[in-house]
Amino acid sequence: MALNPSCVGKSYPLSRPYPVEPETIRRFAEAVGDPAAVYTDQQAAQALGHPSVPAPPTFPFVVVARALDEVFSYDEIGFDPTYLVHGDQCFEYARSVRVGDRLVTAVSITGAKNLRGKDVLTLRADVADTSGEHVVTLRLTFVSLTAVKGGVGDAASR
Amino acid sequence: MPLRAENVEVGDELPARTVTVTRQGLVRYAGASEDFNPVHWNPRVAREAGLPDVIAHGMLTMAIAARTVTDWAGDPAAVVEYRTRFSRPVVVPDDPAGASVEVGGRVVARLDDGLVRLDLVVTSGGTKVLSDARVTVRLAS
């Protein structure tokens, strides 16, 4: 598979709304090992001035990953996700994601290049509530690791 | 009570934390985040990709480091920007001890409007796993 540089600049249609529910946030906070009451208790959230329970800061990546699954085709970009790892990640928040949000994500490709033999894909994702309020912008890089010889991702073994 | 900007000085250290990451923890994070990439749970696939063993999700490491900041600031909404590079993987062996992730942080700048910049140091087994891990928080002022 070879990267198709003409994809750089491409924007994808908005994702379907991602409804943020209390259980989604509780489960995520538990999985990242954060027992703070603000992630499960409406009163604790309100005491800090939140209208509803907020999500931990890295939760928006889950929303964006869901949007990528929906709108994205790695084939079209020529990026092999068989052995995908994260290169870097940036979040710029307008506010916290919170219970009751219905989040839509606009994804665009900001870069696609081969660095030291590895394909590197750079994306931007703008997450907004269905009311149009901007919530958070993510910038991220995915790296496609090359399979070791004989692995399922090793083209020579196919 | 959330931290206030006037109570913060450049050079302040955030309380250091050490967090254990086990295979079970990776499965739990995979489920909660719906990230089922096999390099995070299948040793065969991890080795095919040239990794020594299963590795933690970079986003789990980033989340573990975030708690150091949100505990210190007292409010997750204080975080206005958070960025990092995933410089080395956190390799998680299949034993009860798992991997250890050590998180530290320091105040590097106080800006106008309650904004405070932090640098985080995140290591596993003495190796830096996040690099250029930077957070900007907005504290009440």
The 10s digit of each residue's pLDDT in A55-79 is 999 999 999 999 999 988 899 899 9
Q: How confident is the model at residue A151 (pLDDT cuts 50, 70, 90)?
A: very low
Cβ within 8 Å, pair A27-B32: yes
Mean pLDDT of A130-148: 92
Strands in A18-157 per DSSP E: 18-19, 84-93, 102-115, 118-129, 134-144
In chain B, which residues have pLDDT < 70? none
Contact between A8 and A84 (Cβ < 8 Å): no
Residues 6+ apart with CB under 8 A from B109: B10, B116, B117
Determine contact: A36 vs chain B, CB below 8 A. Answer: yes
φ/ψ of residue B90, rounded to 5: -90, 105
The mean pLDDT of chain A is 92
User: Chain B residue with minimal CA distance to A157?
Assistant: B48
How many residue pairs from chains A and B have C-beta atoms closer than 8 A?
138
| Confidence grade of residue A155 (pLDDT, cut at 50, 70, 90) | very low
In degrees rounded to 5, what are phi and psi of residue A117?
85, 0
pLDDT for position A72? 83
pLDDT of residue A149: 57
Q: What is the DSSP letter of B103?
A: E
- The 3-state DSSP class for residue B73 equals helix
Cα distances from A48 to residues A53, B68, B141, in angstroms, run 10, 18, 15
Q: Cβ-count burial of B85 within 10 angstroms (0-12 exposed, 13-18 middle, 19+ buried)? A: middle
Bridge-based pairing of strands A18-19 and B99-110 is unpaired
Would the pLDDT of A154 be above 90?
no
Q: Choose the mutation target among B37, B48, B130 for the interface with A, i.e. most A CBs under 10 Å.
A: B48
User: How far is it, in rounded angstroms, from Cα A34 to Cα A44?
Assistant: 14
**What's the confidence (pLDDT) of residue A153?**
42
Residue A1: what pLDDT?
A: 72
Average pLDDT on A15-43 reads 98
> Is the sign of the CA dihedral B62, B67, B72, B73 positive or negative?
positive
pLDDT at A142 over 80: yes
Q: Residue A157: is its pLDDT beyond 70?
A: no
| Nearest neighbour of A58 by CB, restricted to B19, B47, B59 | B59
pLDDT number for residue A146: 78
Read off the pLDDT of each residue in A10-15 and give the average, rounded to a whole number. Answer: 95
Candidate from B50, B83, B89 with C-beta closest to A89: B83
Chain B residues closer than 8 Å to A96 by CB: 76-77
Burial A13-43 (b: 16+ CB within 10 A, else e): ebbeebebeeebbbebbebbbbebebbbeee
Which of B41, B59, B85, B132 to mutate to test binding with chain A, by most A CBs within 10 Å of its CB?
Answer: B59
* Residue A89: pLDDT band with limits 50, 70, 90: very high
- Closest-approach residue (CA) in chain B for A26: B32
Which residues of chain A have a CB within 8 Å of the CB of B69?
57
Give the gap in angstroms from C-alpha A7 to the nearest C-alpha of chain B: 24
With CB atoms and an 8 Å threshold, state whether B28 touches A147: no
For residue A8, the 8-state DSSP code is T
CA gap A144, A88 in Å, rounded: 13
Supply the ipTM of this predicted assembly.
Answer: 0.97
